[in-house]
Structure 1
Amino acid sequence: MATNGNQAMDEDKSPAPKNYQEYLMLQNLLKCQVLQSEKAGKPVHDEHLFIITHQAYELWFKQMLFEIDSVREIFVVPTMDESRMLNIINRLQRVSLILKLLVDQFIILETMTPLDFLEFRQHLATASGFQSLQFRLLENKLGVKQENRIKYNQQHYMKVFNDEESIKMLMDSVEQPSLLAVVERWLERTPGLQRHDFRFWRAFETSVSRWLDETIYQPYIEETDPKMKETLMAEYQKQKDSFDTILDPIKYNTFVERGERRLSHKAFQGALLISLYRDEPRFHQPYQLLTLLMDIDSLMTKWRYNHVMMVQRMIGSKVGTGGSSGYHYLRSTVSDRYKVFLDLFNLSTYVIPREYIPPLTMSMKRTLSTLSTEVESGIEDQSSSLESSDQSNEDTSQVMFTM
């Protein structure tokens, strides 16, 4: 213990970097590109590009992990300070932009031809992108479900990691709350889900019923053409059955148990509430957050797809260097199984026209506003005759999404 302490003190006393090279430790970083083909006595030009590209990926993976860890730390507190929302959005925007860069980076690697790659491929031995520890950590920390993973050579993905440090990092990434888990808990606290003066879910169910009756069922009643009547009834039943899967908690939870939905029923309600009332001032940033989470999910899928296409271009249907089925294995990962925020994409299925969205009560309107105290007082005076005194005196300065 004393030795470790002395080492830490020695490191603290190390001189400050004198210049750009020392600050970035370029003397070490730029020596990391070791061509195995050169060691074998026959250097292959494009191996240098291959190494640089993958090292760049790993550096950006490290930055994304850094950002996501910081966002999870902000979310994990029992009462989240609303003022931190801007930090969350900025950091997730950064993750999104990095992923866009990584998606586009494939076009540089594709300047290498399959024949060029074949010249040094044998030097990779069993090395494979599947062994990227940071990418697995990224998937876990975002919230990829372990049971949804496609097996690699009929084995669990962790089997390719043998050192204790990597295994511990992977286990920690699984056991700690993922971004999906902390966002889920945050959504469950959305204002409007359990207020005495505005019960969103009950009002939404009524609005859905009215919308279906007025736009589909009523035309069905009035229709005289038997074929059109049959079509309208089929459409009505289809829409009703679809909405029943979210309105009925038992049906909703059945989909969760089957792994077809990720969010709890209450969190899904919160996400839908934010989506429908995104024009309200205090929902601007939460809605932007939900959009960013979908952007990240979409870009991860695009990254996987571009990777699949590159592998097919380079090796066709050959077996991968890590022993996997190569293209066929990677192709199986481009699916909803690996989508973390799948439920946010499906919100649009249950969005209803603006004219049918339940109107907010004055008290709920105040909660979601950013008006000054003086203006709020004026609204309160004007609305006192419309709402009971206990609603009028409700605290309007509450912080969003608290426990």
Structure 2
Amino acid sequence: MAKNIKPVYYGEYLQLDKLLDAQSPHSKRYGPEAHDEMLFIIVHQVYELWFKQVLHELWSIHREFQQPELDDRAMQTVVHRLRRVLAIQELMNQQVGIIETMTPQEFLEFRDYLVPASGFQSIQFKELEILLGLTRDTRITYDQASFYSRLNDSDRAYLEQLEQQPSLFDGVDQWLARMPFLEFDDFSFWDMYQQAVTRALDRDEQIIRNNITSEQELNAELANLQVNRNNFSALFDSESYGSLQAEQRVRLSQRAMLSALFITQYREEPAFHLAYQVITALIEMDEKLTIWRYKHAMMVQRMIGTKIGTGGSSGHDYLRRTTEQNRVFRDFFAMATYLLPKHDLPDLPPLLRQALGFHFQQRPKDEGAAPAGTN
């Protein structure tokens, strides 16, 4: 390991002179400094530092998903860095409790001095959303037409340039669509899974008919079952699935969705271990981001009630709506709609199971050969 030639001093390395001199309460320009404004500044600066680290991790993951192939070594790195992002998100969610030690009246001591600054102008957070795959079509904003006009020229140009690039969502979709095992020799996951679904739904219908005597209840249960049949039918029919995409009810491509289902249903297969961890981590990341939005919305309601935000939004109402709408990997959550219990899944063909597994071929024993298992 190379050793540094010039000694490093702790404060210089961390540039603490800049970091600790970066808090300048605005209230003292107009009179006595509001005591809690320091807390407000530091909490938001810490958020921006964590955003920077999360972006550092996600851009490295994004680069891996832009490659023509994503092998197991790269996948291991992706999973590791996604887990780091999840740990940071957990900390950010807990951090909301720190700012909630400030009372609404203490916030009002300096709030009006901040107009028209707003968290909407956090360029790093907007970069995070765009990098993940939150598009203008899927995003809720309080003023879609003039949102970007509220940014300065350089920030607006930067975000608009980012919107032209493939997102992490795009990379994940393409990675799943490339999965080679949907068709293998004479095996077709599409056909096999559709047959398994049909058998399971037919069995459910028979159970309903055999156990429900009330005509009204029977019709209601059969109607629910038909909804499930329609959901599965759309999954396997390209035209129907395309209609779901056009209606923005799903974003993943049909092949990517089926690959994700295959991986999730047969996650115990060695070749799917890391892929399943990637899917799970993306679900957890979206979930933790949703929790952060919810906590933020509740904190805002606690602090300002029904007042408008400093940036001109409807405050809590706007933030509440973004909690559900501004999500990226919701298709992975919706996969539960299409999952079957293990006992309804057919066994995979032996050749496919072998391709999905790890196999050790022992070397022939001869003179001078290494003991079995050492190579």
Structure 1 residues 156 and 371: alpha-carbon distance in aligned structure 2, compared to 1, 3 A threshold? farther
Kindly indicate whether the alpha-carbon contact (under 8 Å) linking 2:140 and 2:326 is maintained by their aligned counterparts in 1. no
| In the alignment, structure 1 residue 150 sits paired with structure 2 residue 147 | no
Indicate which of 58, 64, 81 corresponds to 1:91: 81
Q: How much has 1:234 moved relative to structure 2?
A: 2.8
Indicate which of 99, 109, 113 corresponds to 1:109: 99
Q: How much has 1:322 moved relative to structure 2?
A: 0.9
* 107-116 or 96-105, larger mean C-alpha shift: 96-105
Residue 359 of structure 1: SS of its match in structure 2? coil
Aligned partner of 1:218 in structure 2 is 206
User: Distance between the aligned counterparts of 2:318 and 2:279, measured in 1?
Assistant: 30
Q: How much has 1:238 moved relative to structure 2?
A: 2.7
Kindly indicate whether the alpha-carbon contact (under 8 Å) linking 1:153 and 1:323 is maintained by their aligned counterparts in 2. no
Indicate which of 278, 288, 292 corresponds to 1:289: 278
User: Distance between the aligned counterparts of 2:53 and 2:219, measured in 1?
Assistant: 56
Q: How much has 1:191 moved relative to structure 2?
A: 2.8
Q: For residue 76 of structure 1, what is the amino acid of its counterpart?
A: Q
* 19-28 or 319-328, larger mean C-alpha shift: 319-328
Q: How does 1:120-131 map to 2 (within 5 A)?
A: 120-131=110-121
User: Distance between the aligned counterparts of 1:211 and 1:161, measured in 2?
Assistant: 54
Aligned partner of 1:339 in structure 2 is 327
Percent identity over the alignment is 42
Q: For residue 260 of structure 1, what is the amino acid of its counterpart?
A: R
Residues 151-196 of structure 1, C-alpha deviations (whole Å, 9 max, x = no match): 33353432221232x2232123211111110000000012321322
User: Distance between the aligned counterparts of 1:220 and 1:25, measured in 2?
Assistant: 69
- Structure 1 runs not aligned, ≥5 long: 1-14, 378-403
User: Distance between the aligned counterparts of 2:220 and 2:316, measured in 1?
Assistant: 43
Kindly indicate whether the alpha-carbon contact (under 8 Å) linking 1:283 and 1:368 is maintained by their aligned counterparts in 2. yes
User: Distance between the aligned counterparts of 1:320 and 1:232, measured in 2?
Assistant: 46
| In the alignment, structure 1 residue 329 sits paired with structure 2 residue 327 | no
Structure 1 residues 224 and 315: alpha-carbon distance in aligned structure 2, compared to 1, 3 A threshold? closer
Kindly indicate whether the alpha-carbon contact (under 8 Å) linking 2:135 and 2:163 is maintained by their aligned counterparts in 1. no
Aligned partner of 2:349 in structure 1 is 361
Residue 237 of structure 1: SS of its match in structure 2? helix
Q: For residue 321 of structure 1, what is the amino acid of its counterpart?
A: T
TM-score, L = length of structure 1: 0.85
Indicate which of 41, 49, 55 corresponds to 2:39: 49
Q: How does 1:258-269 map to 2 (within 5 A)?
A: 258-269=247-258
Aligned partner of 1:243 in structure 2 is 232
| In the alignment, structure 1 residue 184 sits paired with structure 2 residue 170 | no
Q: How much has 1:208 moved relative to structure 2?
A: 0.5
Aligned partner of 1:175 in structure 2 is 164
Kindly indicate whether the alpha-carbon contact (under 8 Å) linking 2:65 and 2:175 is maintained by their aligned counterparts in 1. yes
Q: How does 1:357-396 map to 2 (within 5 A)?
A: 357-374=345-362
Residues 17-74 of structure 1, C-alpha deviations (whole Å, 9 max, x = no match): 6301000000111000001112323111100000000000000001111100000101
User: Distance between the aligned counterparts of 2:265 and 2:61, measured in 1?
Assistant: 25
User: Distance between the aligned counterparts of 2:357 and 2:46, measured in 1?
Assistant: 44
Structure 1 residues 156 and 278: alpha-carbon distance in aligned structure 2, compared to 1, 3 A threshold? farther
Q: For residue 249 of structure 2, what is the amino acid of its counterpart?
A: E
**CA RMSD of the aligned region, Å?**
1.9
| In the alignment, structure 1 residue 193 sits paired with structure 2 residue 159 | no
Structure 1 residues 154 and 354: alpha-carbon distance in aligned structure 2, compared to 1, 3 A threshold? closer
- Structure 2 runs not aligned, ≥5 long: 365-375
User: Distance between the aligned counterparts of 1:106 and 1:224, measured in 2?
Assistant: 50
User: Distance between the aligned counterparts of 1:220 and 1:110, measured in 2?
Assistant: 51
User: Distance between the aligned counterparts of 2:70 and 2:256, measured in 1?
Assistant: 16
Structure 1 residues 172 and 16: alpha-carbon distance in aligned structure 2, compared to 1, 3 A threshold? farther
TM-score, L = length of structure 2: 0.91
Q: For residue 243 of structure 2, what is the amino acid of its counterpart?
A: T
Kindly indicate whether the alpha-carbon contact (under 8 Å) linking 2:72 and 2:274 is maintained by their aligned counterparts in 1. no
Q: How much has 1:218 moved relative to structure 2?
A: 2.6
Structure 1 residues 109 and 265: alpha-carbon distance in aligned structure 2, compared to 1, 3 A threshold? same
User: Distance between the aligned counterparts of 2:294 and 2:255, measured in 1?
Assistant: 33
User: Distance between the aligned counterparts of 1:100 and 1:224, measured in 2?
Assistant: 46
Q: For residue 119 of structure 1, what is the amino acid of its counterpart?
A: E
Kindly indicate whether the alpha-carbon contact (under 8 Å) linking 2:241 and 2:254 is maintained by their aligned counterparts in 1. yes
User: Distance between the aligned counterparts of 1:17 and 1:314, measured in 2?
Assistant: 47
Kindly indicate whether the alpha-carbon contact (under 8 Å) linking 2:205 and 2:222 is maintained by their aligned counterparts in 1. yes
Q: How much has 1:217 moved relative to structure 2?
A: 2.6
Kindly indicate whether the alpha-carbon contact (under 8 Å) linking 2:283 and 2:332 is maintained by their aligned counterparts in 1. yes
User: Distance between the aligned counterparts of 1:123 and 1:339, measured in 2?
Assistant: 32
User: Distance between the aligned counterparts of 2:304 and 2:221, measured in 1?
Assistant: 51
Aligned partner of 2:71 in structure 1 is 81
User: Distance between the aligned counterparts of 2:355 and 2:105, measured in 1?
Assistant: 64
* 240-249 or 59-68, larger mean C-alpha shift: 240-249
Residues 224-283 of structure 1, C-alpha deviations (whole Å, 9 max, x = no match): 835364355334323212211212221111111111111000000000000000011111
Count of matched residue pairs: 359
Aligned partner of 1:18 in structure 2 is 8
Residues 117-158 of structure 1, C-alpha deviations (whole Å, 9 max, x = no match): 000112212111111000000000001121122233353432
Kindly indicate whether the alpha-carbon contact (under 8 Å) linking 1:223 and 1:229 is maintained by their aligned counterparts in 2. no
